[in-house]
Amino acid sequence: MTSSIPPLIALFALFLSIIAPAVSLTPDSATTSYFDRPGGPQLLAKAVDLQKAIETAGGCPLDVCFALDGSASLSPQDYEYQKEFSQLVALVLSADSRSRYTAVQYGLPAIAISNFTSSAAEFVRRVSASKFASARRTFISSGLLFCTVTLGKQHENIDAIVLLGDGMVNIGADPFKLSRKFLPPEGNGSILAVGVGEVNPTSLERITGRQDAVVSINNQRNLPNVLEKTIRFLCRI
């Protein structure tokens, strides 16, 4: 149930060691560290508290797919925010060693970032290596399809999709139809949308099917609250 994995702070040390080379921020910097920004200690404290909450609740066995927006409507900095938030969520979820993680970048084609792994440390490495595609179109359905097909092959845990991006849709199949098949009553999964950039909240709410299943990471100072809402939504605690 609970972790055989190294303590959270050790995993955060790994996280920092990967992204630390770019902690001196410039206007065109494409990589930042949550923990070198104002409020970093509070974010770390919140992450530790949430791991304790998972353990107190008896665990959170999730198979979670992170779908990151790689379209040119976002900036390279926005893509880094998506990567870092995905890594952060996975590190917190690693309080339950049964949880597993996969990730994809969507734009035009879907680009696999990480196959399923139960190692949060390995997931952090794979996500860190992902490069921003800056695709000319936003094809959300390609990301949702990757996630639904990948999750459909797994049967051990609760299924969840974390859809990151601005919610803009300008090519491809209707993402709302795909999400309806994944969500109850047709399916048994959950979708949380994480807005970044100039967000279309109506689109994200339609995809998730719930207004309370949409959060935003544009306000970096509010990340402890966003992280808490994300974990409590995914783990139903």
pLDDT at 33: 57
pLDDT at 98: 94
pLDDT in tens, 63-97: 999 999 999 999 999 999 999 999 999 999 999 99
Which residue did the predictor score with more confidence, 174 or 54? 54
Two structure tokens written together for 39: 């409020």
Instruction: Give the burial class of 21: count Cβ atoms within 10 A of its Cβ; 0-12 exposed, 13-18 middle, 19 or more buried.
Output: exposed
Domain 8-235 adopts which CATH fold? Rossmann fold (3.40.50)
**Can you give the pTM of this predicted structure?**
0.84
pLDDT in tens, 171-221: 556 777 878 888 878 777 899 999 998 998 998 999 998 889 999 998 878
The SS3 of residue 2 is: strand
What is the Rg, in whole angstroms, of the alpha carbon atoms belonging to the chain?
16
Domain positions in the chain = 8-235
Mean per-residue pLDDT, 3-10: 45
The SS3 of residue 23 is: coil
pLDDT in tens, 150-159: 998 877 788 9
pLDDT at 132: 94
pLDDT at 19: 41
Two structure tokens written together for 71: 């379209």
Give the bridge partners for 193, in sequence order.
Answer: 163, 214
Instruction: Provide the CA 180 distance to its chain's centre, in angstroms.
Output: 20
Q: Taking the CA atoms of 159, 93, 68 and 194 in sequence, report the sign of the dihedral they define.
A: positive
Angle formed by the axes of helices 8-19 and 40-56, to 10°? 140
pLDDT at 13: 55
Given a contact cutoff of 8 angstroms between Cβ atoms, the answer to whether 83 and 156 are in contact is no
Neighbours of 79 (CB within 10 A): 26
Region class of 183: left (phi > 0), else alpha (psi between -120 and 50), else beta: beta
pLDDT at 8: 55
